[in-house]
């Protein structure tokens, strides 16, 4: 008799353990995994990764260029450096906007085609034109794109973001726009980190691709280094999409709760009545 009681006790405990494991599985099934949320989750800190070199930006139509000419004889350089009075009474250099045909209007040299050139190439070309025109042989030219901006649209952090340094990586944008945290709402689950669309105009042709912030492969993507006027579309997560229809989501939630309760009740009844 004692053995029978012990056997029944062990059976009850086994059933209870099975029930608890099943319940725990139900509770955790709706939770996201590390691979779904943690950025660069496959990065091994003990391993070294060879980064791709940062490519110099090419000048595009609509870019604003700050062009500074210097010379050992300052007077020779001043005629190329157009200055305007700022609101606070100081002076600043004017910007040169690349027009729809890819040209800028530059003092004493008329129109110069700069579209498609890097800033370094534009510097050498303008310096040569100044020397060939006999204005200032040996002048040094510095060219910088001053309106480096990236547009973000979609589920998170919609807006236009500018970078004064003239260069930026996708993670610079993530930090500036707070993309990975759902635009600063603290939720952090409103977007898909594994499916971010980058659109880029190259020589009049739209190029685009999806990138993921979850793996180290992003370091080898041509879209790791952003370019001026890139457009980033942030996809909503599946949870966000489901939640967009509140009525359907409401009833689906209730049905799910009822179904789960029935399943648990059936399981408990089966476990504790079977012998």
- Residue 158: Cβ within 10 Å count: 14
pLDDT, average across residues 115-144: 94
**From CA 261, how far away is CA 65, in angstroms rounded?**
66
pLDDT, average across residues 222-239: 88
Residue given tokens 């027009």 in the structure block: 99
pTM here is 0.67
**pLDDT value of residue 185:** 39
End-to-end CA distance of the chain: 16
**pLDDT value of residue 224:** 94
**From CA 152, how far away is CA 197, in angstroms rounded?**
10
pLDDT, average across residues 36-52: 81
Q: Report the length, in residues, of the chain.
A: 275
**pLDDT value of residue 21:** 52
**Does residue 223 surpass a pLDDT of 90?**
yes
**Does residue 238 surpass a pLDDT of 60?**
yes
Q: Mean pLDDT over all residues of the chain?
A: 78
**pLDDT value of residue 76:** 87
**Does residue 154 surpass a pLDDT of 60?**
yes
**pLDDT value of residue 16:** 54
pLDDT, average across residues 237-243: 66
Count Cβ neighbours within 10 Å for each residue of 92-103 and write b for 16 or more, e otherwise: eeebbebeeebb
**Does residue 186 surpass a pLDDT of 50?**
no
**From CA 83, how far away is CA 77, in angstroms rounded?**
12
Sign of the alpha-carbon dihedral angle for 225, 226, 231, 232: positive
- Residue 41: Cβ within 10 Å count: 15
pLDDT, average across residues 146-175: 89
**Does residue 187 surpass a pLDDT of 60?**
no
Per-residue CA distances from 128 to 131, 136, 137, 217, 242 (Å): 5, 10, 8, 42, 61
Residue 145's pLDDT band (cuts 50, 70, 90): very high
Whether 70 and 136 have beta carbons less than 8 Å apart is answered as no
> Mind listing the domains of the chain with CATH numbers?
8-33+245-273 (no CATH), 44-54+148-236 (3.10.560.10), 64-145 (3.30.1950.10)
Q: Helix 246-273 to helix 2-29 angle, to the nearest 10 degrees?
A: 170
Whether 105 and 125 have beta carbons less than 8 Å apart is answered as no
**pLDDT value of residue 63:** 93
- DSSP code string of 39-55: TTTT--TTS--PPPPPP
Top-ranked range on mean pLDDT: pick from 4-18, 66-80, 88-102, 260-274: 66-80
**From CA 96, how far away is CA 78, in angstroms rounded?**
16
**pLDDT value of residue 203:** 79
Whether 66 and 93 have beta carbons less than 8 Å apart is answered as yes
């Amino acid at each position: 008799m004692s053995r029978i009681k012990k056997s029944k006790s062990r059976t009850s405990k086994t059933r209870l353990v099975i029930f608890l494991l099943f319940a725990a599985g139900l509770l955790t099934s709706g939770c996201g995994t590390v691979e779904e949320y943690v950025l660069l989750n496959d990065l091994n800190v003990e391993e070294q990764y060879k980064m791709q070199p940062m490519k110099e930006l090419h000048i595009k139509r609509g870019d604003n260029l700050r062009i500074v000419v210097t010379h050992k004889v300052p007077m020779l350089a001043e005629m190329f450096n157009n200055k305007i009075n700022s609101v606070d009474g100081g002076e600043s250099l004017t910007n040169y906007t690349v027009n729809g045909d890819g040209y800028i209007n530059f003092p004493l040299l008329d129109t110069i085609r700069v579209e498609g050139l890097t800033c370094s190439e534009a510097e050498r070309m303008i310096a040569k034109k100044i020397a060939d025109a006999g204005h200032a042989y040996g002048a040094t030219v510095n060219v910088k794109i001053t309106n480096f901006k990236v547009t973000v649209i979609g589920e998170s952090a919609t807006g236009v973001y500018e970078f004064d340094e003239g260069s930026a990586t996708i993670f610079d944008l993530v930090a500036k726009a707070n993309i990975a945290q759902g635009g600063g709402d603290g939720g952090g689950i409103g977007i898909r980190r594994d499916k971010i669309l980058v659109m880029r105009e190259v020589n009049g042709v739209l190029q685009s691709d999806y990138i993921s912030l979850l793996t180290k492969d992003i370091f080898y993507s041509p879209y790791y280094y952003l370019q001026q006027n890139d457009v980033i579309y942030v996809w909503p997560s599946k949870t966000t999409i489901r939640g967009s229809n509140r009525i359907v989501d409401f009833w689906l939630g209730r049905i799910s709760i009822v179904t789960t309760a029935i399943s648990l009740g059936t399981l408990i009844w089966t476990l504790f009545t079977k012998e």
